[in-house]
Amino acid sequence: MHTHLHRRLARFYFTYYFFVGAFVPYWGLYLKSEQFSPADIGILMSLFQISRIFAPNFWGWLADHTGKRVQWIKLTSFLGLCGFTAVFWAHGFYWLFFVMAALSLFTSSTLPLAESLTLAHLATSNGHYSRIRMWGSLGFIVAAVILGFLIDLTGIKSLLWFLLIVQMTLFILAHSLPDPKILAHEHDHYSIWQVIKQPNVIALLVGCALMVTAHGVLYNFYSIYLSDHGYSKSMIGLLWAVGVLCEIGIFLLMPKIMVRYSLKTILLTSLALAVLRFGMIGLAVDSISMLILAQTLHAATFGSFHAASVEVISQFFNGRHQAKGQAIYNSVAYGIGGTIGGVAGGYALQYLGGQQTFMLAAIFPLLGLLVIGLGLKLTKRLAATKGMFG
């Protein structure tokens, strides 16, 4: 793959996930410092997942329709920046609801557009998705660790300035991305609904949504849960970093794993390990060694699961449906699944407590295991020669 292009895409992923690594672990703690209840925090945090249900599909359709992906990435990153500046003045539930809704409409759309841009570039050059996506994970770790220490030293308000600078950087970097050539594909004549209504596609999307439902609880409340149990912000940041570090490891190993095991086996193993992981978080919150072990399982519950899902999706949705396919996967799995987990998790935390909430979250990947085990039939193993993971 052209090194120059690879560097630009990697830089964009690093910065985007740098934002995510600052936002996901600490925004809930910021909201808690503004005196919101767990149920309110669940609703506010879930605006990002809710907007993922429809916003990426709109932008994905625009990108496929106009063939100009970079233009829309620039626009969404600019509007995301404008939305974020309002956070400095927004206090109270309704103001924050409005600002976070606006912010989420744009920031949740930047990534699926960048994913489809990257996949389109990789289709015309023998590149590796996992090697570019890995830079995103690195960005997440660096932000989570730095911010943990920064917040312990200077207080939670420093988070706002930190996020503002990252948003500005992302907007500047969007101008360095080149538009790809879109290759025609043999299934281009199918309508998008003909692809979606296949039982295989439905089973995959439902299974993914169930997996992400459990993660919705994790993303919104893991930091609050640990903070309530006496962990410092820097320790919380380090625990998040452990998870993402293991995710990087699995992204690097993914080409070898995909040659050896079928995509379905990878999905089922990831789901089984998720049941174990969420059970452990619920049962062993006071044991740091058990929490670290549970975080290493992020390699499977997010890393290998996401990599295999994206690969299956790209087999189902090709050519002119590629951006829409990634958007649909994003909106069903992360949008619907994440919203259910995020909102239900807030109420569960408020009325049942953290330990019960995380143990209940383990039920969702268990259901996903059944859905994908019984419903997803994939015919071929992945060829080791060329493809997204090379």
pLDDT band of residue 2 (cuts 50, 70, 90) is low
Contact 259, 389 (CB under 8 A): no
Mean pLDDT in residue range 295-299? 96
pTM of the model: 0.84
| Per-residue pLDDT at 123 | 64
Contact 366, 211 (CB under 8 A): no
Top-confidence residue, 180 or 118: 118
Percent of the chain with pLDDT over 70: 89
Mean pLDDT of all residues belonging to the chain: 86
For 61, other C-beta atoms within 10 Å of its C-beta total 14
Q: Quick check: is 387 in a domain?
A: no
| Per-residue pLDDT at 275 | 97
Top-confidence residue, 280 or 71: 280
| Per-residue pLDDT at 330 | 81
pLDDT band of residue 116 (cuts 50, 70, 90) is confident
| Per-residue pLDDT at 176 | 83
| Per-residue pLDDT at 29 | 95
| Per-residue pLDDT at 181 | 64
Q: Quick check: is 384 in a domain?
A: no
Question: Residue 262: CB partners within 8 Å, gap ≥ 6?
Answer: 378, 381, 382
Mean pLDDT in residue range 99-115? 79
Cα–Cα distance measured from residue 5 to residue 371, given in angstroms and rounded to the nearest whole number? 39
258 lies in which domain range?
3-375
Contact 314, 119 (CB under 8 A): yes
- Which residue in the block uniquely carries the two structure tokens 């670290």? 292
pLDDT at 143 > cutoff 80: yes
Contact 312, 204 (CB under 8 A): yes
pLDDT at 179 > cutoff 90: no
Q: Quick check: is 385 in a domain?
A: no
Q: How many domains does the chain have?
A: 1
Q: Quick check: is 388 in a domain?
A: no
Top-confidence residue, 192 or 67: 67
Mean pLDDT in residue range 287-308? 95
Question: Residue 312: CB partners within 8 Å, gap ≥ 6?
Answer: 204, 263, 267, 376, 378
Contact 84, 110 (CB under 8 A): no
Q: Which of 170, 55, 53, 173 is nearest to 106 (CA)?
A: 55
Over residues 310-358, the pLDDT tens digits come to 888 877 776 666 667 777 888 889 889 999 999 999 999 999 999 999 9
Question: Residue 253: CB partners within 8 Å, gap ≥ 6?
Answer: none
Q: Quick check: is 70 in a domain?
A: yes
pLDDT band of residue 138 (cuts 50, 70, 90) is very high
DSSP H helical ranges for the chain: 3-33, 38-66, 69-85, 93-123, 129-154, 158-174, 192-196, 199-228, 233-260, 263-283, 288-296, 298, 305-316, 322-329, 338-352, 354-361, 363-375
| Per-residue pLDDT at 385 | 34
| Per-residue pLDDT at 389 | 38
pLDDT at 225 > cutoff 50: yes
Over residues 31-63, the pLDDT tens digits come to 999 999 999 999 999 998 888 888 777 777 777
Distances in Å between the Cα of 68 and the Cα atoms of 56, 109, 144, 184, 187 are: 15, 15, 33, 16, 21
Q: Quick check: is 128 in a domain?
A: yes
Percent of the chain with pLDDT over 90: 52
Among 2-6, 131-135, 284-288, whose mean pLDDT is lowest? 2-6
| Per-residue pLDDT at 191 | 65
pLDDT at 383 > cutoff 50: no
Q: Which of 254, 252, 58, 25 is nearest to 148 (CA)?
A: 25
Q: Over the Cα atoms of the chain, what is R_g? A: 20
pLDDT at 381 > cutoff 50: no
Find the CATH number of the domain harbouring 295. 1.20.1250.20
Q: Quick check: is 153 in a domain?
A: yes
Cα–Cα distance measured from residue 46 to residue 212, given in angstroms and rounded to the nearest whole number? 12
Q: Quick check: is 292 in a domain?
A: yes
| Per-residue pLDDT at 205 | 94
pLDDT band of residue 386 (cuts 50, 70, 90) is very low
Cα–Cα distance measured from residue 66 to residue 54, given in angstroms and rounded to the nearest whole number? 19
Contact 20, 170 (CB under 8 A): no
